[in-house]
Structure 1
Amino acid sequence: MTTDDRPRLLVYTRTTDYRHESIPYGVAALAWHGAFEVDHTEDPAALERPLDPYAAVVFLSTSGEVLTPAGRERLARHVESGGGFAGVHAAACTEYDWPYYGELLGARFTRHPELQPGDALVADPGHPATRHLPAVWTRTDEWYDFDAAPRGPVRVLLRADESSYDGGGMGEDHPLAWCRTQGAGRVFYTALGHAPAAYEDEDFLAHLYGGVGWAARTAD
């Protein structure tokens, strides 16, 4: 914790594959929120050090293999011992070579159709990431498909209505945002947030802040 008692986030944006132009907008939005103190890095060595100072680690549109073996060990230890983890958008396109990460996140990205408008359906209106949203949330984004819908102790927050856009590949069981526990820690993921404009959209920002806050145990 900091001297003003704001929870601290480590926002990690390293990419070794596709890089989203929205990354700096996402970092700025998390810092602007004011509820958190944000440390932003793309240095994998930052994940090799103790993560105890952080209420949550946020992977903001990371891609490819972004962690060292020591960083993987530290992140797993952080979450298992009660720390938070939040993944945004391309965080599901990350660490394919690390099986634990797939378990942690709950699903892995496979493909998406072209950027287009569509409808996200609120599956759980009682979560801080969704309680402000209409039952049908129309927006323009990349509508990610995943290798499977997350199972086990998973709370699905948003689903995609594939009838509202072209190219969906998962059918009716198509989650877009969810949360879960891992060990003693909390995990939140949202597939949304592709474009820079998302980080100026009040509904998306409230979704992001609510999810990250839940992972960091500042919102329930």
Structure 2
Amino acid sequence: MALAPETVDGWRRRMDRYLELSFPGLAGKRVAFCWPIKHEYDARHFARTLRARGALTALPVVVAPKSPLIFREWHPGVDLASGALDIPYPVSSPEVVPEAVLLPMNGWDSMGYRLGYGAGFFDRTLASLARKPVVIGTAYEQARLETIYPQPWDIPVDYLVTERGVYRRDPQGLAFLGAPQAGDAPSPLASPVCYAGEIKRD
């Protein structure tokens, strides 16, 4: 279903706010995100906020088909080239090993599994990292599916942020935690991300 630009922008602003309120521990960490395709959540605005608070932000780079991605630092004005699907990527900035990943989801199910573009890059990449980053999915409620029929190699997200609010993946599946508001008491997210406060540097 086609989405009006003002609808997408309104959802983006709401999701930015939920990310900011629910995951304050991302400030000062190494955070990867994806350049938006079509009407996907545009994480660049939140990435700028994170950088202003001391985070190092990065974009994925395709090295070769069926190989893990690498991540290179992104900041406003960094030199970019056009890759697969005309998605920009940093050309020569330093390589980054992310502590958290903001991952867009074309579709998602109640167990936290993601429907992507079919190439399997992110599952392959997450499996290859010595220390798995916390994965925060970003998607819209209308993209929810009964199941994506996950394969054995599919890796679910740890959290999901939509225009409705924030979900956490528990053993039983995604648990809806609500829509955070400024001034709220610490939520159940405070332990895990505020998890980011528990990350040990290499």
Please confirm whether the aligned pair reaches a TM-score higher than 0.5, indicating the same fold.
Answer: no
So what's the TM-score if we normalise by structure 1?
0.34
TM-score (ref. length: structure 2): 0.36
Structure with greater strand percent: 1
